[in-house]
Structure 1
Amino acid sequence: MIKYISNYITYSFLKKRIKNIELTMDYPIDIQNNVLNELLLHAKNTEFGKKYRFNEIKKYKKFFERVPICKYSDIKPIINRIRKGEKNILWPGKIKWFARSSGTTNTKSKYIPITSQSMNSHYESGKDMLSMYIHNHPKTKIFLGKAVRLGGSYTLHKKYNNFYGDLSSILIKNLPFWAEIICTPKKKISLMSEWDKKLKNLIKITVKQDVRILLGVCSWLLIFLDRLLKIYNKKSINDIWPNIEVIFHGGVSLNPYILQYNKLFNNHKNINYYNIYSASEGFFAIQNENKVEDLLLLLNHGIFYEFIPIEYINDSNPKILSINEVKLNKNYAIVISTNAGLWRYIVGDTVKFTNLSPYKIIISGRTTQYINCFGEELIVENADKALKKSCIETNSILQEYTAGPVYINEGKSGSHEWIIEFKKHPKNIYNFRDILDRELQNLNSDYEIKRYKDIVLRPPIIHVARNGLFYDWLKKKNRLGGQNKIPRLSNNRKYINSILKIQDKNKITVN
């Protein structure tokens, strides 16, 4: 009885948020201007606020003219001061939590400040996520069961007396009571640092529970679900959790994995996939409709947005647009100012707007994840879609992938080199390669031009990875679990060479 009462209270509370979401959708520019003014007011007496005279800024134009854009490398010395305990630098007060960014497995870690305000913005965005889901599924019973969460871990920095770790671990550690009661496993297990040990405990506990929600990065959820089926010798996840209803996923595109998920759930029609766009720097967007790929940009949770057309991203003084200046189907790098003290900060992701009323986006890639050694401008969005089509036509299932360039050498055309790990192998890898090449040409006219008669680009080179190759590579890099992801595309050979070093000698390669 208590469970049903709790379900009713939670459902009713979240349903009321829809009106606020709709209000934001109706007045996006006014809402964003209010967010900017609140950020400036709150930080006007910080060191940064005094330097740029926040107290004098009343309009976006002056903010645009006065405050410079920045990358992490620009503010790293400031972040280091904050980590050492200095107060009132970028945001009022002392900051005790830092999200160690691991969006890709490159370079050294970034430490993104997490304030009480930014943490609360993540939780409020989570409420909106659930609100949109129950709005679209009024008969849902997800709150009668449990939500399985895959989290990372955090560490105490003894010298500075503050904490750093995956964003997920920070949010789980400080999770409000209303959210904690429906989540499983308990914090002690969710925050374990050793991934393999955590996975064993997670499976042991959750298999006995009435799980209805899954939360996490879809690639890591697959590892969890695969092991669950193998250990209990079941054919479908529905045999273990018959009431499972929705997977809230983010971090990487679901497209390359959807066939694998369909197999895990035996093509069960009642499974819903809801995408979210959450990063260490903020919770940016949510899926607000059933079975769509684009996401509703969240405009009222402590983040002010600007956008750089991708063709200007490497300029010393790039063109920057406010949200009311963006156009449909153009690639933009995101610039944010937040209640964590990030001011005109270039996130590193690229997006395209699919709708301007309300503002809806798709994640098209990253400013650092692309291949453009030959003017082909291949982005992650192209790769994900082409691989999905290739898998469908060859009845194969993809596990992981990465790709990089093969440089033009001694008059020989260049190429793209792919390492692909399959869950189910195509019968003919040459056919798979040809379909991938064809779809990339269909999706990307620049790639198509460079492939003309093999003058600039030859057909892709594909290495069929041994089972577990990418997992082993992440383990070697000490990047298992949490928000760690395989870098999809790289404009150099750093990742390709590193992964091929641990590939078996009897690998299958298609030239």
Structure 2
Amino acid sequence: MSLINAVYRLYNRRLLTELDLSSEDPFPFQEATFRYLTSRGAGTVFGEKYKMGEIRDIETFRQRIPLHDYNSLEPYIQNILKGAQNVLWDRPVSWFALSSGTSSSRSKFIPMNMENLQFCHYKGMLTILSSYVRTFPSSRLFRGKSLTLGGNRHIDKSVDTNCCYGDLSAFLLINTPLIARTFTTPPKKTGLIPDFEYKVEQVSKLIARQNLVSFSGVPSWNLILMRKVLEQTGKRNLHELWPHMELFMHGGVNFEPYRVHYKALFPSPGMHYLETYNASEGFFAFQTDLNDPGLQLLPNVSVFYEFIPLEKLQAAENGTFTDFLTMADVETNKPYAMVISTNSGLWRYLIGDTVRFTQLYPHKIRIIGRTKLFINTFGEELMIENAERALSRTCDLTGTSVHEYTVAPVFMDTRRKGAHQWLIEFETMPQDLKTFTEILDKELMQVNSDYEAKRLHTGTMDPPRIEPMKKGCFYRWMALNDKLGGQSKVPRLWNNRDYVEDLLGINESL
């Protein structure tokens, strides 16, 4: 082990101790987090409304404080945006991370503060690095630069209230501790460029001259950057340029469709891919074992977790079901909607992600979809996990690769059955689109029995309809909707045809 790795592990040994203890029993950490959050929230406008100061146990917390989503918290957030304080949290809040708006056409203003950055976002990242260095003691992670490619929303400031809002990545960048800046790139001035395409151009020129050892972010945006560097340098692959590149920490979308592209860019067997689960709302989990796709949930990052069995979600949203589960109550292989309470003032907040526990002690999850992003037009209940698995398997069987895709229903009428329309921008086109469609249909039936029933037994659905899209179509759609970079991503499944019709129109114009 190198001296710098040994010093880093020594400095952060408490994080590794907490990680190990929480693997054995996460709930003491969750109980401590619960007490910390409720004591701090008691004197706020929100806390006084629900008499949070009288809450002594989780059961009372469940009964007294209702489930919230962004719409129900928005009046409080708007008051903070106007300059009010002590509304959702008892410390000044003047930063707001703009969410990517995957499930909504509008951005959400997620409140943030220095406590939230320090004890959630930064702590989560430090825990990842500590765990990684322990797993790979010969890592060269601290002998070069680590890249984070931010989004296209720089930080704006309200003249009247001094409130600032922008991408989470921008807040993380401007608050990066001085010692960490030695190991990170790009510098603040470049990282905060609002024009994403111009930023990619500038960052690509910069990192081509640096000793890059790791990078992090959403696979789709980083792929654009890495291909730009390859084009500019004329290298056969990027390990020729960065021989010590060893780690890509990715999140936001399923990595499997991108894995083949990254393996071509970074062919060395020493290249590692580590999935994280972080969002504007917090840093929640990461992959502790690179051979296990499960993400270990972090119980000690100032987030109190609750879980709603997916079949109870509608009842929970209308207030008739309140017995949400804690980490002590969950079971493996059951779908749950995740609910969080955080030190940024999000209380019993339905974050919108659906998860499944793959194991307990340590508690590991897979993100299987969004509570709003699924297709259930014909009773087929197709979730993102089903679509991703079926598409990945189909690509493997047909020697095909996919760059981007989205799926929407084709509604039945008097002349035709219903169906799913897949808009796919292929990286490698299938030799026979009909065969590709047939295999995809079979794979979907294999991973989803409800889909199989609607396809074969009820006569309500025809096979999928595949629409190959022109190169750059999805990128153009993202640009037109101000969703370039950061945590923005293409919605994979949608119950209406709004996105699909827009994309088809763009495709015709290319």
Aligned to 1:381: 385
User: What residue identity is the alignment partner of 1:374?
Assistant: F
Give, in whole Å, the separation in 1 of the partners of 2:339 and 2:489.
22
TM-score by length of structure 2 reads: 0.95
Aligned to 1:129: 128
Shift of 1:156: 1.6
- After superposition, residues 253-332 of structure 1 pair within 5 angstroms as 253-266=254-267, 268-315=268-315, 316-317=318-319, 318-319=321-322, 320-332=324-336
- After superposition, residues 60-79 of structure 1 pair within 5 angstroms as 60-79=58-77
Q: Tell me which of 323, 340, 361 is aligned to 1:357.
A: 361
Aligned to 1:194: 195
* Native 8 Å contact 1:86 1:94 kept in 2: no
Shift of 1:154: 1.9
- Structure 2 vs 1, CA of residues 22 and 6 (structure 1 numbering), >3 Å: closer, same or farther? closer
Query: After alignment, is 45-54 or 110-119 more displaced?
Result: 45-54
- Structure 2 vs 1, CA of residues 206 and 505 (structure 1 numbering), >3 Å: closer, same or farther? closer
Q: Which runs of 4+ in 1 moved over 3 A?
A: 4-8
* Native 8 Å contact 2:103 2:373 kept in 1: no
- Structure 2 vs 1, CA of residues 42 and 450 (structure 1 numbering), >3 Å: closer, same or farther? same
- After superposition, residues 72-471 of structure 1 pair within 5 angstroms as 72-104=70-102, 106-120=104-118, 121-152=120-151, 153-266=154-267, 268-315=268-315, 316-317=318-319, 318-319=321-322, 320-410=324-414, 412-452=416-456, 455-471=459-475
Give, in whole Å, the separation in 2 of the partners of 1:479 and 1:105.
13
* Native 8 Å contact 1:210 1:243 kept in 2: yes
Shift of 1:13: 2.3
- Structure 2 vs 1, CA of residues 156 and 43 (structure 1 numbering), >3 Å: closer, same or farther? same
* Native 8 Å contact 1:285 1:298 kept in 2: yes
Give, in whole Å, the separation in 1 of the partners of 2:58 and 2:415.
52
Give, in whole Å, the separation in 2 of the partners of 1:45 and 1:145.
46
TM-score by length of structure 1 reads: 0.95
| Residue segments in structure 1 that go unaligned for 5+ positions in a row | 507-511
* Native 8 Å contact 1:260 1:423 kept in 2: no
* Native 8 Å contact 1:256 1:385 kept in 2: no
User: What residue identity is the alignment partner of 1:296?
Assistant: Q
Shift of 1:394: 1.5
User: What residue identity is the alignment partner of 1:100?
Assistant: L
Aligned to 1:50: 48
Give, in whole Å, the separation in 1 of the partners of 2:12 and 2:39.
30
User: What residue identity is the alignment partner of 2:296?
Assistant: L
* Native 8 Å contact 2:5 2:137 kept in 1: no
User: What residue identity is the alignment partner of 1:361?
Assistant: I
- Structure 2 vs 1, CA of residues 157 and 6 (structure 1 numbering), >3 Å: closer, same or farther? farther
| Residue segments in structure 2 that go unaligned for 5+ positions in a row | none
Give, in whole Å, the separation in 1 of the partners of 2:128 and 2:408.
35
- Structure 2 vs 1, CA of residues 17 and 321 (structure 1 numbering), >3 Å: closer, same or farther? closer
Shift of 1:178: 3.1
User: What residue identity is the alignment partner of 1:323?
Assistant: M
SS at match of 2:368: strand
Give, in whole Å, the separation in 1 of the partners of 2:52 and 2:446.
48
* Native 8 Å contact 1:306 1:334 kept in 2: yes
User: What residue identity is the alignment partner of 1:12?
Assistant: L
Query: After alignment, is 447-456 or 37-46 more displaced?
Result: 447-456
* Native 8 Å contact 1:403 1:488 kept in 2: yes
User: What residue identity is the alignment partner of 1:277?
Assistant: Y
Give, in whole Å, the separation in 1 of the partners of 2:189 and 2:9.
27
* Native 8 Å contact 2:375 2:495 kept in 1: yes
Shift of 1:206: 0.4
Give, in whole Å, the separation in 2 of the partners of 1:136 and 1:89.
43
User: What residue identity is the alignment partner of 1:102?
Assistant: S
SS at match of 1:274: strand
Give, in whole Å, the separation in 2 of the partners of 1:8 and 1:29.
30
SS at match of 1:144: coil
Give, in whole Å, the separation in 1 of the partners of 2:201 and 2:285.
32
* Native 8 Å contact 1:336 1:344 kept in 2: yes
SS at match of 2:314: coil
Give, in whole Å, the separation in 2 of the partners of 1:13 and 1:495.
48
- Structure 2 vs 1, CA of residues 420 and 77 (structure 1 numbering), >3 Å: closer, same or farther? same
Shift of 1:160: 2.4
Shift of 1:33: 1.1
The root-mean-square deviation of aligned C-alpha atoms, in Å, is: 1.6
Shift of 1:481: 1.3
Residue 494 (structure 1) aligned with residue 498 (structure 2): yes
Shift of 1:148: 1.1
* Native 8 Å contact 1:156 1:163 kept in 2: yes
